[in-house]
Amino acid sequence: MLYSEKVMDHFRNPRNVGEIEDADGIGQVGNAKCGDIMRMYIKVDKQSQTITDVKFMTFGCGSAIATSSIATEMIKGQKIEDALKLSNQAVVEALGGLPTHKIHCSVLAEEAVKAAVKDYYDKNGIEYDCSLYAPNNCVCQHN
């Protein structure tokens, strides 16, 4: 079998699909080569810096949908600095593996989370380490 049961479950029954109208952070990443586009929305409790809600909209293949879905489950309820530690490897492991040619989907899921956090930081004037973000998603203002 090409895909694990967990991948198929998250593809068939994705969790946290949709938009958050008054999101505190929105991150969108995409890969024109494969056509996958992910948009991640986060709601943050400003006092505790905890992600209280997270939703996603993904246009792409089954692996892109599954990685977006599991990533939202992995960061919901987490402190924002812990959500930043989410790695594509952790996403792949949580799904029970992905075919090699679909690993890029897990990278997009990681980048979408980071882009949403970066947007939250930018909107709230919170300083951050620019090196934590993919080069195409981060333009340092303090060069």
Catalytically annotated residues: 34, 105
Helix axes 5-12, 62-75, angle to 10 degrees: 90
d(CA 14, CA 25): 21
Separation CA 113–CA 91 (nearest Å): 12
User: Strand 50-59 and strand 25-31: pairing?
Assistant: unpaired
Q: How far is CA 128 from CA 4, 73, 111, 140, 141, in A?
A: 36, 24, 15, 10, 11
DSSP per position, 3-35: S-HHHHHHHHS-SSBS--TT-SEEEEEEETTTT
Local structure of 127: helix, strand or coil: coil
